[in-house]
Structure 1
Amino acid sequence: MHTRISAAGQAVTVTSVTPAVCKWAARYFGVSWDATCSDGTSCLGAAHGPLVDADVDAGALSQLTRYILDHPYRTAAHAGATMLYRYDDEDGTVSAAQPGLDLACHYQPGPRQLHIVGGEEEVVAAAGARFAREMVRAGLQRDGWQILCAAAVVRDGEAVLIPGPGGAGKTACALLLAGAGWRLLAHDRVFVRAEEGRVRLLPWPGAVSVGLGLLDALGMYEGVRARFLGGGQLHPTQRPEVTEALTRGSRAPVRYGPRELKARFFPDQLRSWLGVETAVGGWATSVVFPKVAPDEVPGVLGAGRGVSRDDFVTALTEDRYPDVLGLLGHDPDGPARRETLRSVLAGLPSYDICLGQGASANTRLLTEVTGLS
């Protein structure tokens, strides 16, 4: 079985003898990109571009992990788990293992083929989708696309871009606007490219994180909990503390130190669980920079601060998915492209805003600054 994934002219094929692996990829990407799951292998071969082959194979997993452990290797944190990896100077391939996940992979950069083996079906399926996304990302990068740490909503092709670091209120702004008639394009990261003096947006497919307090404020908590207690499955990367809170019916934010742990949704659960309509592209027409201050009155603080270099995610600044396999390669034109994007975005209407207490007051503020009302 295989799933063909494509976005903006770039594509990758995921293959597996385990149907769930290809079905996972189709589900994961089908909301934002084109993803077609089919039986057979008729589309395979070097002429069809990058390939991810992912299977449950305990023997191959043990053999590849042993190979890495028996040779000098490096370590990195990747997708929340320790990764051991080594480069083979003789053939240029890269091998990696994540013993904590019972997962290993081998990448051949010449034909752009990645082979993944693991001990559990769900872990293999998630890894296959994750690395397939990185391969598409590599092609998009070559075509000039950059990643901005931002949420985005779209209406009639026009997009509100909402940049900011974690905790700034990006997801809250996006979901409030989605409830007011916009379509959600991105909740945390978004691909951006300058085209003829405008900035085009493309989704970054991924699990959607929403805090329990925000779900409650938006009136979504009871529906989510009912589906969960009825046997619905949320994304497997959701922390057990959040699962326990949902089971108990707690609406209070769940924290691990300063970090808030959030409910994690599959992309298609945006619509089926949260009632949020999605978009697959748009053009930036305004920029909103939020901050969250629950004790303050929602309001506009002034003209937007402007998109900074730190708002972009590059191979050098990537913290979740460092490019240890060398899938992305060097992006020599990246700095110049990001400066062009910053310049174009600086010419759009831009606002610094404060989100306070009360979903309706925050929604009124957002609809005023985005021109919906």
Structure 2
Amino acid sequence: MGTRTAVRLHAANASVAVHSNTPAVTDWARRYVGPWWHAVSVPAASVGVEPLIMADVDPGLYEAMAGLVHARPHEETVYARTPILTARDTDDSVIAVSPADQLAYRSEPGIGALIIAGCEAEPVALAAARLAREMMRGQLLRDGWVVLHASAVTAPDGRTVLAFGSKGSGKTTTALLLASQGWGLLANDRVFARPCADGVEISPWPSAAAIGLGLLDALGWYDITRKRLQAGEQLHPTQDSRVTAALLAGDRTPLWEPGGKRELKAQVFPDQFETWFGLRLSTSGHAAALLFPRIEPGATPGIAETTSTLTDHDFMSGATEDRYPDIFGLAQGIDGGGRAEDRAAVAAQMAELPHHSVVLGHDCADNAAFLAKLAEAC
């Protein structure tokens, strides 16, 4: 771990460098965001004044940083579903520790610097990739981008079809079915959007994709996934172990948390859409149409009688972003979904685009054929 490595990440007009004493950390950042954002390995010495994450596997540094947090007045919150303690070191810096993950942090948003220290490579790598995305989000928000809760696919000419709706409505299903028909998968759950001279430009939000076992099977990807796992490959480590066990056992029954409130799903790396399932990923586009799907068992795919429109709930915000509150100050006071005036501008531009409320059934082939014909007409 003596030689330092670095990777530069770039999206739209924002960039972040990740610097580490452990190659696994920068390799992870490149893999996690690279398929949707640009990620290039660079000599560590070449990293300059750009926003920087220094993410090291260093138990001694972790202990020292954790001690600083415990020695100061601190508060507990939940970040990425894990308790984390945060405190102020100075007026401009935040220090934090996640004892469960053995991770410590120091954020200085004013100069665009974040230090992460941990005891094991995988937690440090996960945190570095996640916070590189959050640091990038802060830059994009300050430049007028907003975050939409939507799935998206693009045609080769950049026309982008976005799918909106509440959890379980069929956003991911719509995007994956269109991607299986040759459209480029730009995002599976949320996107960045910004008004431009010729409409609304769209940029990806890199993340692992959550796919239920039933949908995985319906798409014809279950057996591919099982064979890959049996051969020793892995899905994203945040995946529940019960999902992995079911896949290895060949059990296709959808899994649910006790009480049936949350489905347990396979967590697919962005690059696995290409290498495992043969999809094409897209890195940018321009909004061309909005779809509002809903899934009804036994339904014939078609246009719904009711018409849906974009609402405030389709924009991510500090109130809706429950997994990644801005405890490190990376958005520098801007709401996590963007400024109100920028959200209004995006909504106004999108109101001029075709809107289609659609009903999908459980036959993937019929759904895919219907969606492909509809999207091509947009």
Normalised by the length of structure 2, the TM-score is 0.94
Q: How does 1:8-87 map to 2 (within 5 A)?
A: 8-44=12-48, 48-87=49-88
- The answer as to 2:332 corresponding to 1:329 is yes
Structure 1 unaligned runs (5+)? Answer: none
What is the rounded CA distance, in whole Å, between the counterparts of 1:227 and 1:207 in structure 2? Answer: 17
Among 336, 339, 343, the residue aligned to 1:338: 343
Identity of aligned residues (%): 42
Q: Is the 8 A contact 1:149 1:312 kept in 2?
A: yes
Deviation at 1:57, TM superposition (A): 1.1
- Count matched residues: 369
Q: Which residue of 1 aligns with 2:210?
A: 209
* Structure 1 runs of 4+ with >4 Å offset: none
Q: Which residue of 1 aligns with 2:167?
A: 166
Q: Is the 8 A contact 1:315 1:328 kept in 2?
A: no
Q: Which residue of 1 aligns with 2:152?
A: 152
Structure 2 unaligned runs (5+)? Answer: none
- The answer as to 2:234 corresponding to 1:233 is yes
Q: One-letter code of the match for 2:332?
A: G
After the TM superposition, which of the residue ranges 188-197 and 124-133 deviates more from structure 2?
A: 188-197
Q: Is the 8 A contact 1:298 1:357 kept in 2?
A: no
Deviation at 1:283, TM superposition (A): 0.7
Q: Is the 8 A contact 2:19 2:44 kept in 1?
A: no
Q: Is the 8 A contact 1:56 1:117 kept in 2?
A: yes
Deviations 1:203-235 (A, max 9, x none): 011112111111110111111110111111111
After the TM superposition, which of the residue ranges 129-138 and 56-65 deviates more from structure 2?
A: 56-65
Q: Is the 8 A contact 2:149 2:164 kept in 1?
A: yes
Deviation at 1:302, TM superposition (A): 3.3
What is the rounded CA distance, in whole Å, between the counterparts of 2:106 and 2:132 in structure 1? Answer: 14
Q: How does 1:105-120 map to 2 (within 5 A)?
A: 105-120=105-120
- The answer as to 2:297 corresponding to 1:294 is yes
Q: One-letter code of the match for 1:331?
A: I
Deviations 1:242-294 (A, max 9, x none): 11111111112111132111111111111001211110111111110111222
Deviations 1:24-76 (A, max 9, x none): 111112111111113332223xxx32110001111121222222223221122
Q: Which residue of 2 aligns with 1:369?
A: 374
Q: Which residue of 2 aligns with 1:193?
A: 194
Q: How does 1:264-279 map to 2 (within 5 A)?
A: 264-279=267-282
What is the rounded CA distance, in whole Å, between the counterparts of 2:342 and 2:198 in structure 1? Answer: 12
Change over 3 Å in CA distance of 1:62–1:55 after alignment to 2:
same
After the TM superposition, which of the residue ranges 19-28 and 147-156 deviates more from structure 2?
A: 19-28
What is the rounded CA distance, in whole Å, between the counterparts of 1:255 and 1:92 in structure 2? Answer: 43
Deviation at 1:303, TM superposition (A): 5.6
